[in-house]
Structure 1
Amino acid sequence: MDTGEEKLARMRHSMAHVMASGVLAMFPDAKIAIGPAIENGFYYDFELPRKLKPEDLKVIENRMIKLIAEDYSFEREIIMRADALRLFGSQPYKIELINDLPENEELSIYRMGSFIDLCRGPHVQSTGKLCPQGFKLTSIAGAYWRGDEKRPMLQRIYGTAWHDSKALRTHLAHLEELEKRDHRRLGRELDLFSIHEQVGAGLVHWHPKGARIRVLVEDFWRTEHYKNGYEMVFTPHVGKRWLWETSGHLDFYSESMYPSLHMDKSAYYIKPMNCPFHVMIYNNGKHSYRDLPYRWAELGTVYRYERSGTLHGLLRIRGFTQDDAHLICTPSQMQGEIRDVIRFSLYMLRSFGFQEIEAYLSTMPEKAVGARERWEAAQDSLRETVELEKLKYKVDEGGGAFYGPKIDLKVRDALGRIWQLSTIQFDFNLPDRFNMTFTDSDGIETRPYMIHRALFGSIERFFGVMIENYGGAFPVWLSPVQVVLIPVALNFSDYASEIVHEMRGQDIRAEADLGNERLNAKIRNHQTQKVPFMLIVGERECENRSVSVRTRGGEKSTLSIDEAIEMIQKKIIAKETV
């Protein structure tokens, strides 16, 4: 029996065919590519004689409603390869797909009225089973054929589809909230960051307010690392070819690396990862089991080539700062190190407001380096630790990297979305490649365990996730401006400036708005900028040495200056929102 999700997927896949039929009715010479069901909806890619406009979506929707009403059957047919090539002779993208299939692959098509598509299915019985009030075409985007920027750019139409109009309305309201929280939009509106195509796609420019938040995050990160027994290291941004050959990156990761730079008759590569440099620090001297474990952390900026079509604000970029660390320990220390790093990860994520956290354990794949017993010991250590911490977890059997098992920690945000942030990854590869050793208690040179670990993944991506989770309304401790003093008239400007000076002396980020706008306009502006506290001062406040407090949530009160400072400081220490 089909699950609810399977029924939705079948319905959405069918709706993609209905949409494609409607598009072909508008553009008979259109070239069709692929049209799958996706989470919450569907899409279809087209090569069209002109660029689609937003108003075209309504025209296509009306054609789709008519097709639904006409109740066309979805009819499956097995077809010979030669017949398929003739049938789709005017459709080059379908021809390419057919030619890429194995010779013995069974080909199936689906007919719906006059529309025919190369498709495995499944579909609903007929278009009449679809809800004409339960779908909407949501957007138009560009998409390279097969995700290759060297191939043609197609036009992609996205849609969403549900069993009834109520579910559709709920989803559209959710999409509206997503749009409000989009970190790219809020990044512009709150003046946090920008990305300039003329400088380079996927390269982030941090504006003063965004940089202030970044500094707060990084300062907290460093402080907590020192508390947990880590030491900081700094490593170069480039390394010679030998380093990347030895690490294996040039063999396994070269497509994501930038081309080499040639200096001093040598080839250098901009680093895509920090780990080989940390290994070089380790190999700079001899080590005893008494010296271990080492916990070395670095906020290391790396560069990876991502196709332009995959770039997405701060969430997928080409230059980013990993909150990286490498733990180097003896086999007997492994269990304790894993326990501590998972607890540390949970503490850090919860400190930034993420309370719903799940773990995903990826185990040994078929092709792997390192002895099986080491894999099994590492996997057992990961599993036992997440169970001790009473974390929900799922196992991805065989999903580990070739060089070691890992745990990913995923958080659920304010809108219920899942984000993968922390990663704890064993590595049996680099210690062998770089011949890392320590002298054990018997005086024997022994290979250490190496664990890669990132708490946030990268500072940039974590910042993007935080923006969307909080909708730009950061907790007081992270807000770039915590307090704005607003005088009701310019003759109270000195009093406002005096309070700003006093608050800054108490480590509160305060500013005074001494512009000529009306009071209500100033309040609206700072609410839009999501400042936690607006302190309004006039004649009464000046006489009483008080302030009229208005939070961004709309709460109002009147407090003395000392009471206001104490209240704000408590909110900062407790990492509260207002």
Structure 2
Amino acid sequence: MIKITLPDGSLREFPAPLTVAEVASSIAPSLGKAALGGRIGRGETSRVVDTSHLIDSDESLAIVTDKDADGLELIRHSTAHLLAYAVKSLFPEAQVTIGPVIEHGFYYDFAYKRPFTPEDLGAIEKKMTELAKKDEKVVRRVLPRDEAVAHFKQMGEAYKAEIIGSIPEGQDVSLYSEGAFEDLCRGPHVPSTGKLKHFKLMKVAGAYWRGDHRNEMLQRIYGTAWANKEDLQQHLTMLEEAEKRDHRRLGRELDLFHIDEHSPGTVFWHPRGWTVWQGVEQYMRQVYRDNGYLEVKGPQILDQGLWEKTGHWDKYRENMFVTESEKRDYALKPMNCPGHILIFKQGIKSYRDLPLRFGEFGQCHRNEPTGGLHGIMRVRAFTQDDGHIFCTEEQIQSEVIAFTTLLQKVYKDFGFTDIIYKLSTRPEKRIGSEESWDRAEQALAEGLRASGCDFEYLPGEGAFYGPKIEYTLKDALGRPWQCGTIQVDPNLPERLDAEYVGEDGARHRPIVLHRAIVGSLERFIGILIEQHAGALPIWLAPRQVVVSSITDAQADYVTDVVKALQKQGVRAEADLRNEKITYKIREHSMQKVPYILVVGDKEKASGAVAVRARGNQDLGVMSLADFQEKLSSDIANKV
């Protein structure tokens, strides 16, 4: 008898081996129809299999449907194959390469003699719908590696043959077919193409074969797929809203910054954009001062020998910009930590000096591939609100509590209240004793619990030298952005010989906590722009108030109002142009100015201003003094 244990703990017995689909149908005919796959086993060793998978021994089994995360993964994986099927149907000369699942969807890379056009995408999507409606069975078979290579070469699929040829000799590979199309794949897949109903192709982009810029350029078609029509529509609506909020478009429209081909991956900040930058930096600088951080500044260029000691030269060399002077090799720093260690080492440090908190707005350079650059979100030159806390092992927990509380306040001030907490624990390959890992992981976990944070574990995701906490904020569209982190590191002080004198008079190694709140300022400002759709909070807005005259007769009064506001510390400008007031209001509203003051003869005579707030709110006429008081309150309270 075959014994199958279901998720609710119930047991079912069968006289002979049977498939996942047959188990599902035995539970309920409707479940048999809804089944997309099955998850066999329990815990980390469990795996998802096809509905055709044969169960021939006692096993735990959960039926996977489109209500499950596993089911959505199956749908997206199978839709990628459906895309390739459609492309081969319409463009037989195209060669297929790889097509993985990604967040919210999938992509597939193709080699074809000409670029795919938007019209091609429409035709491909239409063909996918036709093929799905045919409800063709998805069938798995296994071939020896060499036989599979010959099979795909005969089909003219050189890329697939190359992929299989890189698999160790003697191994078998699995192939999946649906109708006239067959593809190399580990699987699993949905049982038939009829399960694929809610998808949309999004765009075409270039991609190097196997991600290597030395290889030929392929065409990557991106798509999204969902379990139902409502989820698909919700996602498409979110994408439309994200397009409106795109920081690159808003950066141009609001005259904040630009990216120039003369310096790829770096940002040219315009006056208004630099005002926003300074607002973020000066705010974080005050955070440093209020929370016991000592601001430092390290050099941009450091000797190769230092990077060899830290291990970066061996493991990170291809991502570093290097230079040479007087027959010595140097690198632009990709991170600030080694410089902070060198500062710590100057002079004798005592246990009484700990915890010692260094902070730096340090500019870093990383040689990111051109294809990975994205506006100001991912650049080659960026500045971090970088900090390093030198402490003892016993001080880790209290520092985590203090840091988490601080991070929550900072995020709230910037308009983020939804934070996800994740604790990454020891990886398989690591240094240090099990006892030290136990203590470090426990300190991080207890620090989060004491801060009132629910968190999830990421087993094995820590660095080889220590565990870490990742702080991920969610924006107005529900998108996650991992910005903050605190990382336990006993390794770098060891490599660079940092030490302090303990209470016992002996030399000890400090623990370093790498920590950041906003991370890259460039990236964080990009997130802020998209979070607020360009309408930045008044305390960050590059122009907080614009004072507009109705006629030339109010010019002197407008100038006096602007001077009074500027004296108050407000970023105020005058608009004295000979334009209709409705035109001025519309223009400044489109520029997302928080307050527009309109001044006519009546306002001039009474020393008042007519106030319009962002969002087309008419706040009426008030005295200049009352408006200044309101403005001070808004800025102070970070409205």
- Give the alignment's TM-score, normalised by structure 1: 0.95
- The whole-number CA distance in structure 1 between the counterparts of 2:171 and 2:371 is 31
- 1:171 alignment partner in structure 2: 235
Match of 1:43 among 85, 103, 107: 107
Cα drift, residue 104 of structure 1: 4.4
Give the 3 Å change call, closer, same or farther, for CA 104–190 of structure 1 in structure 2.
Answer: farther
**8 Å Cα contact 1:144-1:309 kept in structure 2:** no
Give the 3 Å change call, closer, same or farther, for CA 104–351 of structure 1 in structure 2.
Answer: farther
**8 Å Cα contact 1:204-1:314 kept in structure 2:** yes
Residue 535 in 1 paired to residue 597 in 2? yes
- 1:448 alignment partner in structure 2: 510
- The whole-number CA distance in structure 2 between the counterparts of 1:462 and 1:76 is 46
- 1:126 alignment partner in structure 2: 192
**8 Å Cα contact 1:27-1:49 kept in structure 2:** no
Which amino acid counterpart does residue 385 of structure 2 have in structure 1? D
**8 Å Cα contact 2:555-2:576 kept in structure 1:** yes
Larger CA deviation: 503-512 vs 59-68: 59-68
Residue 289 in 1 paired to residue 351 in 2? yes
Larger CA deviation: 16-25 vs 467-476: 16-25
Report how many residues are paired. Answer: 572
- The whole-number CA distance in structure 2 between the counterparts of 1:45 and 1:290 is 59
Residue 330 in 1 paired to residue 407 in 2? no
- 2:417 alignment partner in structure 1: 355
Match of 2:558 among 496, 509, 532: 496
Which amino acid counterpart does residue 168 of structure 2 have in structure 1? P
Which amino acid counterpart does residue 82 of structure 1 have in structure 2? D
- The whole-number CA distance in structure 2 between the counterparts of 1:334 and 1:23 is 55
Matched residue SS, 1:88: helix
What stretches of structure 1 of length at least 5 have no aligned partner?
A: none
**8 Å Cα contact 2:144-2:170 kept in structure 1:** no
Give the 3 Å change call, closer, same or farther, for CA 80–284 of structure 1 in structure 2.
Answer: same
**8 Å Cα contact 1:149-1:309 kept in structure 2:** no
Of structures 1 and 2, the one with the larger relative CO (CA 8 A, separation 6+) is: 1
Which amino acid counterpart does residue 278 of structure 2 have in structure 1? V
Larger CA deviation: 163-172 vs 139-148: 163-172
- 2:466 alignment partner in structure 1: 404
Larger CA deviation: 559-568 vs 367-376: 367-376
- The whole-number CA distance in structure 2 between the counterparts of 1:517 and 1:497 is 17
**8 Å Cα contact 1:359-1:410 kept in structure 2:** yes
Which amino acid counterpart does residue 489 of structure 1 have in structure 2? T
Give the 3 Å change call, closer, same or farther, for CA 302–500 of structure 1 in structure 2.
Answer: same
**8 Å Cα contact 1:73-1:125 kept in structure 2:** yes
Cα drift, residue 320 of structure 1: 0.7
Cα drift, residue 418 of structure 1: 1.1
Match of 2:164 among 98, 101, 108: 98
Matched residue SS, 2:99: coil
- The whole-number CA distance in structure 2 between the counterparts of 1:104 and 1:203 is 48
- 1:470 alignment partner in structure 2: 532
**8 Å Cα contact 2:398-2:447 kept in structure 1:** no
- 1:148 alignment partner in structure 2: 212
Give the 3 Å change call, closer, same or farther, for CA 160–503 of structure 1 in structure 2.
Answer: same
- 1:59 alignment partner in structure 2: 123
- The whole-number CA distance in structure 1 between the counterparts of 2:300 and 2:293 is 22
Match of 1:217 among 280, 292, 298: 280
Cα drift, residue 319 of structure 1: 0.8
Quote the sequence identity (%): 46
- The whole-number CA distance in structure 2 between the counterparts of 1:479 and 1:77 is 61
Matched residue SS, 1:477: coil
**8 Å Cα contact 1:329-1:450 kept in structure 2:** yes
Matched residue SS, 2:190: coil
Cα drift, residue 55 of structure 1: 2.2
Give the 3 Å change call, closer, same or farther, for CA 106–520 of structure 1 in structure 2.
Answer: farther
**8 Å Cα contact 2:393-2:440 kept in structure 1:** no
Give the 3 Å change call, closer, same or farther, for CA 128–371 of structure 1 in structure 2.
Answer: closer
Residue 257 in 1 paired to residue 358 in 2? no
**8 Å Cα contact 1:273-1:302 kept in structure 2:** yes
Cα drift, residue 101 of structure 1: 1.9
Cα drift, residue 16 of structure 1: 2.0
Residue 298 in 1 paired to residue 360 in 2? yes
- 2:81 alignment partner in structure 1: 17
Residue 573 in 1 paired to residue 636 in 2? yes
> Which runs of structure 2 are paired with 1:361-400 in the superposition (5 Å)?
361-400=423-462
Residue 114 in 1 paired to residue 180 in 2? yes
- The whole-number CA distance in structure 2 between the counterparts of 1:33 and 1:520 is 57
Structure 1 residues 105-162: Cα deviation after superposition (integer angstroms, max 9, x where no partner): 431212222111112223233223332xx32211111112222222221111112223
- The whole-number CA distance in structure 2 between the counterparts of 1:61 and 1:338 is 50
Q: What is the root-mean-square deviation of aligned Cα atoms in Å?
A: 1.7
- Give the alignment's TM-score, normalised by structure 2: 0.86
Larger CA deviation: 34-43 vs 225-234: 34-43
Residue 563 in 1 paired to residue 629 in 2? no
Give the 3 Å change call, closer, same or farther, for CA 327–17 of structure 1 in structure 2.
Answer: same
Matched residue SS, 2:220: strand
Which amino acid counterpart does residue 112 of structure 1 have in structure 2? E
Matched residue SS, 1:215: helix
**8 Å Cα contact 1:357-1:412 kept in structure 2:** yes
Residue 208 in 1 paired to residue 274 in 2? no
Give the 3 Å change call, closer, same or farther, for CA 490–102 of structure 1 in structure 2.
Answer: farther
Match of 1:317 among 376, 379, 385: 379
Cα drift, residue 436 of structure 1: 1.5
Larger CA deviation: 498-507 vs 15-24: 15-24
- The whole-number CA distance in structure 1 between the counterparts of 2:428 and 2:173 is 31
- The whole-number CA distance in structure 2 between the counterparts of 1:543 and 1:6 is 70
Give the 3 Å change call, closer, same or farther, for CA 252–488 of structure 1 in structure 2.
Answer: same
- 1:136 alignment partner in structure 2: 200
